[in-house]
Chain A
């Protein structure tokens, strides 16, 4: 026990390996957020269209992704796609797919909420000057709704980042998984490695999420003051 535990963070390539793992999580979050937000805006706009069948389907889609815990969603896709549909994706691709679909579901609700809170007269004014449906969304409703969507979208981002910690359950080599490997490999030399490694990962997640949630809160406050 001549070693102080904190050195486990910097021994060998441990630190850069952990950051590498964090990058995998970040990459999955970014891909999922980009695809999910785009799809979510489309689905959210469709949910404001007056078509009962379409609305019901999209509502069921949202409720499914809301009710089933994300861990379970990951397992559903991870086990069922290859077994029953013969689709063999690697774990990272499964994670991106699940997260993108989940983000799209949550995003559709944010977009719908923002769209229906644009004042009715804006919509009527748009129709009165002869805009058609897509033009109405493109030039009148979406630009005004974007401001309302931003705080909730940033909060969704922090949720996605936090949820990437679950990736180790489908054996993605994320920061938590690599952290566990380092703890196991250094069990002899650094028996208290878990404290430092998990402590570092804890701080890393905090450093990623805190600025985003602080930003979201500031935007929300500004909107409340303007209201």
Chain B
């Protein structure tokens, strides 16, 4: 391993680093939105839409991201839907992440103590008010650790974007290995880059878990 090579390749990796963060950011925001919609449909037992969201959750959770990406990027054009690699990557991440976020959020909503819901009904709140003032504030707080765990999971999944040739971190490392044989250096920088993103997040996650456990409501 040579430090000169590492210095040489760092600029390319910095670019890839920001790209990875950018794609993760859009993917995660999208996944949280999809997850919220899917979990609300399930929690409020909206007919028909609830079943559709259940089917979506099962399909998305039980298939690998790589195949989802291949399908979006290589199979969709054959039926007339063409999108760029980055758009395919972000869509794939949203498709996969949406169901994980839905489970996390639903778990939180479902974890709100029954007594809270009953008390709300007893003081005459409407369903909408119950959701707005009782269920969401508590449920969403409860689901934060699971959402954070999914954020880490989804950022790691962006490494699979390499298969549709998005120049994120893993793809950049493979390029460096394939073109210049900078094998050790590239893999070293790659692991460090993921560590820079994920170690702080995993520390935050541990802290959040501890806080939400202490911040239980009403008991």
Contacts and interface: CB of A to CB of B under 8 A. Distances in A.
Contact of B66 (A83, A176, A192, A213): A176
B29 to A, nearest CB: 20
A75 B78 contact: no
B173 interface: yes
A5 B202 CA distance: 46
A169 B74 CA distance: 17
Contacts of A192: 78-79
A195 B70 contact: no
B170 interface: yes
A23 interface: no
A41 to B, nearest CB: 23
A194 B78 contact: yes
A166 B75 contact: no
Interface string A42-78: 0000000000000000000001001111111001100
B169 to A, nearest CB: 8
B130 interface: no
B132 to A, nearest CB: 28
Nearest to B162: A71
A92 to B, nearest CB: 18
Interface in B156-210: 156-157, 159-160, 162-163, 170, 173-174, 177, 183-184, 187, 190-191, 194-195, 198-199, 202
Contacts of B64: 162-166, 205
B78 A206 contact: no
Chain B interface, >50% SS class: helix
Interface stretch (B34-42, B54-62, B85-93, B112-120): B54-62
A110 B173 CA distance: 32
Interface stretch (A12-20, A27-35, A139-147, A196-204): A196-204
Contacts, number: 106
B159 A213 contact: no
A80 B1 CA distance: 11
Given A69-B159, A72-B190, A75-B187, A195 B63 contact: no
A215 interface: no
A72 B194 contact: yes
A84 interface: yes
B75 A195 contact: yes
Interface in B62-99: 62-68, 70-71, 74-75, 78-79
Nearest to B79: A195
A202 B157 contact: no
Contacts of B163: 168-169
A112 B125 CA distance: 44
Contact of A202 (B61, B63, B173): B63
A209 interface: yes
A80 B202 CA distance: 27
22 contacts: A63-B202, A67-B194, A68-B195, A69-B159, A71-B160, A71-B162, A72-B173, A72-B187, A75-B174, A80-B187, A162-B62, A162-B63, A165-B64, A165-B65, A165-B66, A169-B162, A176-B66, A176-B70, A198-B70, A206-B63, A209-B62, A210-B62
Interface of A: 5, 63, 66-72, 75-76, 79-80, 83-84, 158, 162-166, 168-169, 176, 183, 191-192, 194-195, 198-199, 201-202, 205-206, 209-210, 213
Interface of B: 58-59, 61-68, 70-71, 74-75, 78-79, 156-157, 159-160, 162-163, 170, 173-174, 177, 183-184, 187, 190-191, 194-195, 198-199, 202
